[in-house]
Chain A
Amino acid sequence: MSGSFNRNQIAAFTSGAVLACLSGLPVAHADESEDRSRSTRTPIKHVILIIGENRTFDHVFATYTPPRGQTVSNLLTKGIINKDGTTGPKVALAKQWQATDTGTFSISPTKTQPYSILPDINTDGAPTVPFAATAAQARAVEPALPDGDYFELASGGTNLPSRSVDTRFPSNLPNAPVDMSRSISYNDYASSPVHRFFQMWQQLDCSAKTATRANPSGCLNDLFPWVETTVGAGANGAPQPANFTDQTTGEGSTAMQFLNVAKGDAPYFTQLAQQYALSDNFHQSIQGGTGANHIMLGYGSLIYYADPVTGKPKTPPAAQIENPNPAPGTNNWYAEDGYGDGKTGNGGSYVNCADDGQPGVKPIKSYLRALPYKVFRDGDCAPNSYYLVNNYNPGYLGDGTPAPLGPTQFTIPPTQQNNIGLLLSKHHVSWKYYGEGFDGGKEDGEAGTFCNICDPFLYSTQIMTNPTLRANNQDIKDLYNDIQNNTLPAVSIVKPDGLLDGHPASSKLNLFEGFTQKIIEMVQQNPDVWSDTAVMITFDEGGGYYDSGYVQAVDFFGDGTRIPLLVVSKYSRGGRVVHTYYDHVSFDKFVEANWNLHETISPLGRDNLPNPVATRANPYVPVNQPAIGDLFEMFDFDEHRHGW
């Protein structure tokens, strides 16, 4: 538990009866037509969740030192590295291994030997030249940066060919995390590690045999470069290329890179951490990439392939079913994973995890069943349901048109599963999703860099076929207007475009910092908004970067590695570092609790999980796992005595 926060106090306050006594607010049973957006348990009347892309906690905050009196778990405090980025006395804690997996998929393959040196880092898709020639040209396309930041879109290219050895980094890298600041500037583009479902399970190397009291999930986090170099971002239905080497997948050891805040990297996020609240135990909710993690945020569980009319589970085209079993004669080259060529439909992103006979399912389920605790709903897999565990397009285009479906379209049919937007609307609490580049549903703003798979509501039949609810999908300029005009909804989810989201290769973290800074400064410049608004900043997932933190096995789908979470509000000051275990669905729990919904998204969702109970000796590992917090520890309302 964090410093001044008292969980029992909050638990008492969050019971309806106590709340009624203290605040005089109607607890429930309000007039059904009443807008209940301001009926909250805390002074927070608006929450804005900003979601960047693909950075683990250690990747960003490896060398972060918190204010006096606070502690943090990162590479520096574990002794894995020194503040200057060199290897530390306990560097062996981050040792990475080679392994062999030639039979069926394993989440804990047989390890052969540790790397003597790491495979060379590869440029993969990092851009040779920046996206614009001048700052002025960048500004003409991109509206969401502070004025002084546009040069970042006009600089930082690698000057190297794509998918080649990244010679900006040294060869003969020791088996250790790689300090990016020793080789490139914070403003330089760099490559992106793999971040797909089965790959991420393997990267963590989880086994009940290695479970301990301090690490009850038994994940060792020691196969990151091996997964990158054996399968990378997926086979895409193709055979393993001839003359396969550790550079063929285009990654090398990219996963081991970290930024160095002690040397000036990520200055704005560091400043926010020093001034407001930082979580060092917030996790991506799904092993895998962008789409699935945004879906988990929106639905509290994953969505499955469904009949678009009835909403009932249905079997997807055969070639779209994941098969991570190694192709014959290969070491870990998945048989079906990724995207095919658009004609065959080969690839695979669906998993029927209720059926142990399906490829890749039994190794994970066996591991979960062997753990010293019971996971959520035996893995949370409904019968005959093929869950989308990687990125496929949503079932609706932004204008409400049903997306084209079929075996050669990588598109999940519309879903009728419940989501946080529907739950909020049911309870008369306002909400919006602001996706930069949405452009009124045309999805063509900012040179076509809108992220469709990031918007959880584009998957939803109930929202996209209802003009009123569909209109809650908006663009970044709508957010700016709502902040400046005091018309923010209660709950806002904000997504930058692909230029500014911080995704390695296609973006940079400084660009996401600028995107965030512009919003926060706008909020702070409006006293009415700043007085009752919390801005939360996190990421969709860790992007496949190494992280040293504990990972709780919640169900079949995750959790995955730690990712940063910052909370900026008048009630989150002081630079506290909060250690309570969270994942994306913690945001849903916060919303449900703060707006007195007394209801979860569905009985299947992780928002039904209890809040963690942990010991002082190890605040990172819930003793009642699986458990995820509701983010109330990120605030200190008592200090202000406002309305409790």
Chain B
Amino acid sequence: MAENMDDMQEIIQDFLVEADELLEELDEDLVRLESESDDEELLNKIFRAFHTIKGSASFLGFEKLTELTHKLEDVLNKLRKFELKLNSEMMDAILAGVDKAKEIIELIKEGGDPESVDIEENVKQLSRFLEEDYKEGQGKEEPQEEELSEEEMVELQKEEMLEEEALLESEEEEKKPKDDIDAEIERLLKQRMEEDKEKRLKRREKILAELQGKGTEGEEKQGEEKKEEPKEEKKEAKKPPIQKKSKPVVEQTIRVDVQRLDDLMNLVGELVLGKNRLVSVAQKAEEKFSGDEVVEELSEVANQITLVTTDLQMGVMKTRMVQIGKVFNKFPRVVRDIARELNKEVELIIEGADTELDKSVVEEINDPLVHIVRNAIDHGIEPPEERVKLGKPRKGKIILSAYHEGNYIIIEAADDGRGMDPEKLKQKALEKGLITETEARQMSKEEAYALIFKPGFSTAEKVTNLSGRGVGMDVVKTNVEKLNGIIEIKSEIGKGTKVILKIPLTLAIIQALLVKVTKEYFAIPLVSVVETVRITKDDIDKVENKDVLRLRENIIPLVYLGDTLGMGKNKRTLDGKEIYVVVVAIAEKKIGLVVDELIGREEIVIKSLGNYLTNIKGISGATIMGDGSVTLILDVANVINEASIISANIEDHLIENYAKDVPVALVASRDITDKNDLIDYLKDKGYKVIYAHTDKEALELACEHIADIVFIDLSIYINDGYNLARSLRSMPAYKTTPLIAVSTDGTYDKEKLKESRFSGILFVPLEKDEVYEAIENASKRNILVA
């Protein structure tokens, strides 16, 4: 029996999913019906939707839901037979009924008592339309309750039962057939059939009784019923194509657990990493043994794997894709409700509803859009009279559109309302104390528009219950930030406002810009990168002692990325003649991040840092590069916020501003006995000696002090001395600095020495004269190079 309960639970689950889908479609269809109230096809579709829900609800014993949908079905039945004419009062009642049905469904989902919902008001409202005296000007008198023809009813029921059976069968296949379940289902189905029959009989009796009481009218009606029969046959003839339309959907799609798709996506992520690695190995092999047959084969394989992986990634991504229509379709209803409440007339135009994006993104995008549209209707669109006075069409227009642009989806919400006045916005923000006078003066138009995203900001003269409380747009900002998206606002006074959201298609695999800061590499999600520019120190301006960059007409705050991450202290890595700036934007904010080096663009798979390192400031996750190293992904929103707090300036990081009185020598070596001799020799020669045990430490120190000469133990931990030399050479301050290798065991790799651009080599034990000679030679050679 317990298993049966489980089965019932599953049937209920399926019912809930189905009901959700139907109700969602209903919203859309009903709003469409308002303008196309004589579309028979549409009326039939809506009728069937109510009928289906009613059927399942009664089967599962949800009495209130059955009663409600039954009433809705009855009203629709009258409408589809054109015995009633749709008016806005009726529409409101139907929509209210749908809302109530949704409420009940939600309650069932949450495990509440679906019978506790009060539907009396709705039923009363709906019943009014079914009353005989409610049909002004429609002439004909119809039966109180027009039943479906018996045939049609049976047809519908059969169809449903078949579906249900199919559903149950498929469940059984999974669970291995069990006779008692079968029996139970059959019993339930039979019971339901009987119940329905009984209900039908009762209703028929009731109608008959009423008809008899009304005498002549009844005769008329009978005549009408006869007349209507052929009509219904026609309808039945029309039915098959509809069935055809709905059946393939059942056969061609399967419902998949989202978790499974997520797992699949993770695996593909691993595969992408593996592919990146394979490609980098193949490249290395090619450099080393170019022309070798096996290497060529390897490259070929790597290329093929790259292609297949890309296709596979696209394929898996596509399975997670849903049309944005899923979100957009709610909006006719939303717009209608808001417009009615505010006594405004608004027409909604939806474009690009078939644009696809990742399921997880779709879930996050709904709320921001609702707020944006609300805001547009409440603050943007003028009341009809005002619009007429202004010479605009009476009906305001809101256009929701979506389209793809590279790896992003662009969602636009445009209205033709009054537009936003930047001066007014600034004034308001000043009054609320959100900004200072100076800030207001320096603000660009775009920055002023962005003020609406500040918590506590509202331009509404009076607070309505829809908007004006100054929380809505804040939600927009938070959600879009969460998705690594960008918000842009365009507005023209008197013409309207356009809010543009640029959001990455997927959250798991992203394009990123790799940059280097001090000795570390970071990945900046490309969606946040606006552009990269190369400047010199003379291009940096100051505003209130903060660095800014004048870029075309914009003034952008400038910060050293290392400072925003708390790792910039004492680091001198910037060459004043060549400063790289990555202009990033999140939501409405824009800022220039100064980095040491731009590495390039790469496709990265986002990985979490795990439970031990949670909520790290400035870091949103990590990724694994082709060479197997870990690179951290910047949390751009966080970095931008941090940037407004820090006080360090760019010039603190310029190499040329490093002051020293004596030459500096950096010794990077394992703990070897000879190191002390070396340090002594160097001190005798007048050097200030700094000492590092590991390559990491050496690089760190190299960023803090600009050494004039570097001694590198070839066997230094963690990576060897060759790698350390290569890393040093890539830093602007060490392009020509003498680097002297120290071999502790007499071994060395000549090729690698050359490749890492060492200036000389010494062997342990170190002799004073040899050391001095090496210094001299290395310095000379560098003069030659220069």
A binds B: no
Interface residues of B (CB under 8 A from A): none
Interface residues of A (CB under 8 A from B): none
